[in-house]
Chains A and B, each alone.
Chain A
Amino acid sequence: MQNTLVRESERDNVLERERELIAEILAGNHERYYELIARIERRVYYTAYAILRTEADAEEVSQEAILKAFRGLHSFRGNAQFASWLLTIVANEARMRLRRRREVSLELLKSPESEEEYTPVELAEWREVAVEALAQKELAARLEEALAALPEIYREVLVLRDIDELNIAETAAALEISVPAVKTRLLRARLMVRDYFVARSWAGPARFRKAQR
């Protein structure tokens, strides 16, 4: 979102180092694959978790995706970051598993896309202090709750674009939807997650608990 120039040169460096590392792995130095995934594994797991919502499934899917990426490494083209490629694989695996899970439990229907425009909650100001006052753990929990409250089609687009930092086209490809559909969902997802977070964070823990009953 910011510092586009700095990020571009950083990105070139990352791509260069990645290409070297991948060439070595493909040449038979397999152990170096650990290095390739070390920086990404948290994001891999988190992406699976954000879609699947259970730790056990998220771990299994993460492992499968990381293995799949290793087996298919020769087909990886270095025009994107390895992270984007791997995260797309994870998102796919997670969504496939979710579909299979749904075939078993029919009560879970796919969240429909709303045609109506979303109207965000009006705020007088962004109370930075309120966020700073939250302990890191509490903040993480509130963010997680806000994300979990999003309907699935909005959560997955938000995770891929804003957490995994795939670009719009990569996000569209990963979700097998059009670029305009990504943009429409993204707008709604971003406004909704902000509202959910604000509702959970600023009402104060006591009032929030009361509202939940």
Chain B
Amino acid sequence: MITLSCEEIRREISNYLDDDMSPRMRRLLEAHLEQCRKCAVLLDSTHNVLILLADERRFQLPAGFSLRMRQRLAEEFAKTKAH
């Protein structure tokens, strides 16, 4: 069976996370990951950081943001109704 090098795995990590690869490539990649701790850690850690980044609890709105937004929208709604 053809095997992939660590370098090739590295190039495919992003596509793997996006589930954007052929079934054959996926099999080759997963076979490599089972054998290579280094690449498995690279994939895991990258994936974990992305999960942490996407966590909504991280995003804090400035105080009063929603209120100011609603006020601006209310003005817009009033304008739209007036037309």
Contacts and interface: CB of A to CB of B under 8 A. Distances in A.
Interface string A111-140: 000000101101111101001000010011
Given A41-B66, A162-B54, A183 B41 contact: no
Nearest to B16: A1
A53 interface: no
Interface stretch (A13-21, A63-71, A83-91, A99-107): A63-71
Given A147-B53, A191-B46, A41 B18 contact: no
A43 B59 contact: yes
B56 A42 contact: yes
Interface residues of A, number: 52
A194 B45 contact: yes
B56 A126 contact: no
Contact of A63 (B10, B42, B59, B72): B72
A194 B14 contact: no
B62 A55 contact: yes
Contact of B69 (A55, A62, A146): A62
A11 B20 CA distance: 20
A192 to B, nearest CB: 10
Nearest to B64: A59
B46 A194 contact: yes
Interface of B: 10-11, 13-15, 17-20, 38, 41-42, 44-50, 52-54, 56-62, 65-66, 68-70, 72-73, 76-77, 80-81
A187 B69 contact: no
B53 A163 contact: yes
Nearest to A185: B14
A136 B73 contact: no
Interface of A: 1, 4, 30-31, 33-34, 37-38, 41-43, 45-46, 55, 59, 62-63, 66-67, 70-71, 117, 119-120, 122-126, 128, 131, 136, 139-140, 143-144, 146-147, 158, 162-163, 165, 168, 183, 186-187, 190-191, 193-194, 197-198
A31 B77 contact: yes
Contacts of B72: 63, 67
B81 A30 contact: yes
A168 B47 CA distance: 17
A42 B59 contact: yes
Given A59-B62, A63-B68, A183-B14, A70 B76 contact: yes
